[in-house]
Structure 1
């Protein structure tokens, strides 16, 4: 048997250990449970909206026939580059050529035959009028001397009237065929109209661009209004993004975006918001946003699938908390609550929100730098401490930055909103 003194010492030591354990447990119960949380700090923050859309040509020009004719030549294929004035299609129009030749012949006849003839007739009519006037004057003088009959004098006067009328008609006829006259103007107009129609038989590009579609071949008969080709006009390309309407309040014309195509994922390029649709698509609940592509992105092609990250907000220094520290942080909410820990006790504090991101959200009112908050949304509702409860905070590192943009300048900045349509 152990010595009584040794046994007493062992019992005393055991009791002391049990007492220390009990005191530690009581102290832990008094100080509260250990819960995860964060220390609030200021830092850079970005807010992005991410969506997927397609590249759309700014302008697709449809090239059509203005006259009827037979296709003699088709000088371009899909993918060919064209400049203004380049010949695309040549038509043959026999009836228009006949009208042009007839107008040319009529103008030639007018200038070389009709005009000299009319001028000669006018000169002859003037000479006949002068002769008739002299004869009438002579007969009046003879009549006054009663050497000719009164009837002869009257006949001479009538001859003057007839000669004057003939001279007037000849003058009008000569003026009508004179250079710049009405008849010449009509013939020239007919010739110009025929030549203009023939110019339409040579179909030229009106824009610089790339041929997308051809719908005509040599030998085809075409009619006015028939579309022969489609050209994507050269211009800064566009990306059409259908964005969820809940992001409308974040969007502004001029916001920068970083885009990546499915075809070239390793070649991000810049774009800029240049148009926001005035209405909402009620069927999809989206708003169409158009981005203007940076001209240096010459590898972008029509109808490519593009993921675009729009920079909708940025703070160089913002007081932000992780989203899992916010209570009541619903979509579009401007206010929420946090569980702040001061002096080992919990305080439920209302806060006003600013920029919102995937990982972090700006707190504009309600907290100060250095405050500590619980990661409240990681706890079950039954585990949430009430105001005044004691807790021990296990401070965690802030969430890793998760910007949606591929731009290198934003790689260390948290706060991207997933806003696709």
Structure 2
């Protein structure tokens, strides 16, 4: 009998507890509706690039003698980067100079002979007209030979100059392709230099926002390698053609960066400012619950009663925890965070430590 009584007591206690759990008000976290200014931003992701990244190539076949720059070095326009072996070309230049001197000597002798012939003709017609013409022709041919040898010397000196590879831009060496002793052919790259005059992020942005992005708009760049140091920049160029597969468009955002911090290809995020709204009601994004095409927030009254309010969302930024709203809301009203499962009309219990309100500063955008 005692055991039956004990079992019955346990069952009744369990039913009472279950009833309490079912009927007890749901505990919720809340935030206050606030008024503030909001800078609307569009997010894009991409990689760091520069306007020019020329590959310094050899113009002739040969073998590398010296490489005077390495990856990570900053070089200036016109700076010598690499030298090819040039002993054979030096020999060719010396030979061309000797041939030029010989041609000039021959031309000088031919000129003297021609001038002597002119005197003989003028004085007493000591030579025939045909002989005179022959002297003149020899001189003209010798002068032409000088011109040919001068051109040959210029060509050999030019080929010798091609053993020296110089940078056409000022920038950062991002790739070294060869080492001393390597055989190379004409056109083969030796080093790659990223020009640092213009640095940008080539970012992909959802094409739905194409009409909002314009050249010159301010933007914020956040590099993966320094996420705590946002950099101010601006839209440099908007590609008019979208990718039909990804449904994104390419936007280039320029920003200043010291050359020693440049990492071409580094991943980055950009936030393009497309407008500002002032003195608007805001709620945390976590308070908004979609139903079909509509958006709702749930307001906890002072008595714990829940009221459902339909709202329209305004432009915001992916970096912000809050969003502008219009609808049946008042400043200071308490909206419920993460209201999944609520319908409106329920009674809730507000947690003792309320969540932070939607009032807050926007992310810092300046370095």
What pairs with 1:39-54 in structure 2 (closer than 5 Å)? 43-54=36-47
Local SS of the residue matching 1:310: strand
Local SS of the residue matching 1:254: coil
Kept after mapping to 1: 8 A contact 2:283/2:335: no
Equivalent residue number for residue 266 of structure 2: 304
Equivalent residue number for residue 92 of structure 1: 85
1-structure distance, mates of 2:64, 2:32: 77
Equivalent residue number for residue 83 of structure 1: 76
- Matched residue count: 323
Kept after mapping to 2: 8 A contact 1:48/1:404: no
1-structure distance, mates of 2:177, 2:258: 31
User: What TM-score do the two structures reach when normalised by structure 2?
Assistant: 0.70
CA deviation vs aligned residue, 1:299-320 (integer Å, no higher than 9, x gap):
3422222232222211234466
After TM superposition, give the deviation of residue 184 of structure 1 in Å: 2.6
2-structure distance, mates of 1:281, 1:131: 89
Kept after mapping to 1: 8 A contact 2:280/2:324: no
**Among 59, 62, 65, the residue aligned to 1:69:** 62
Tell me which structure has the larger Cα radius of gyration: 1
Equivalent residue number for residue 200 of structure 1: 162
Equivalent residue number for residue 360 of structure 1: 323
Distance 1:41 1:76, change over 3 A: closer
Equivalent residue number for residue 115 of structure 1: 107
1-structure distance, mates of 2:117, 2:366: 95
After TM superposition, give the deviation of residue 172 of structure 1 in Å: 3.6
2-structure distance, mates of 1:222, 1:297: 30
Tell whether 2:365 aligns with 1:407: yes
What pairs with 1:158-169 in structure 2 (closer than 5 Å)? 163-169=128-134
Kept after mapping to 2: 8 A contact 1:271/1:292: yes
Equivalent residue number for residue 287 of structure 1: 249
After TM superposition, give the deviation of residue 259 of structure 1 in Å: 2.6
CA deviation vs aligned residue, 1:219-254 (integer Å, no higher than 9, x gap):
222211111111112223211211122222321222
Kept after mapping to 2: 8 A contact 1:258/1:406: no
Local SS of the residue matching 1:104: helix
Instruction: Choose between structure 1 and 2: higher helix proportion.
Output: 1
1-structure distance, mates of 2:224, 2:267: 6
Distance 1:38 1:101, change over 3 A: closer
2-structure distance, mates of 1:75, 1:300: 21
CA deviation vs aligned residue, 1:260-295 (integer Å, no higher than 9, x gap):
223222222222111111111112111111110124
Local SS of the residue matching 1:270: strand
Equivalent residue number for residue 19 of structure 1: none
Distance 1:308 1:164, change over 3 A: same
**Among 29, 33, 52, the residue aligned to 1:59:** 52
Equivalent residue number for residue 218 of structure 2: 256
Kept after mapping to 1: 8 A contact 2:74/2:171: yes
CA deviation vs aligned residue, 1:169-214 (integer Å, no higher than 9, x gap):
322433454xxx5433322121111101101111122221222211
2-structure distance, mates of 1:64, 1:183: 35
Distance 1:42 1:382, change over 3 A: closer
Kept after mapping to 2: 8 A contact 1:71/1:219: yes
1-structure distance, mates of 2:137, 2:292: 94
Distance 1:69 1:380, change over 3 A: closer
The alignment's C-alpha RMSD in Å is 4.2
Local SS of the residue matching 1:264: coil
What pairs with 1:140-155 in structure 2 (closer than 5 Å)? none
**Among 210, 213, 216, the residue aligned to 2:175:** 213
Equivalent residue number for residue 138 of structure 2: 173
Tell whether 2:223 aligns with 1:265: no
Equivalent residue number for residue 207 of structure 2: 245
**Among 131, 139, 146, the residue aligned to 1:184:** 146
After TM superposition, give the deviation of residue 350 of structure 1 in Å: 10
Distance 1:65 1:401, change over 3 A: farther
User: What TM-score do the two structures reach when normalised by structure 1?
Assistant: 0.62
Kept after mapping to 2: 8 A contact 1:269/1:297: no
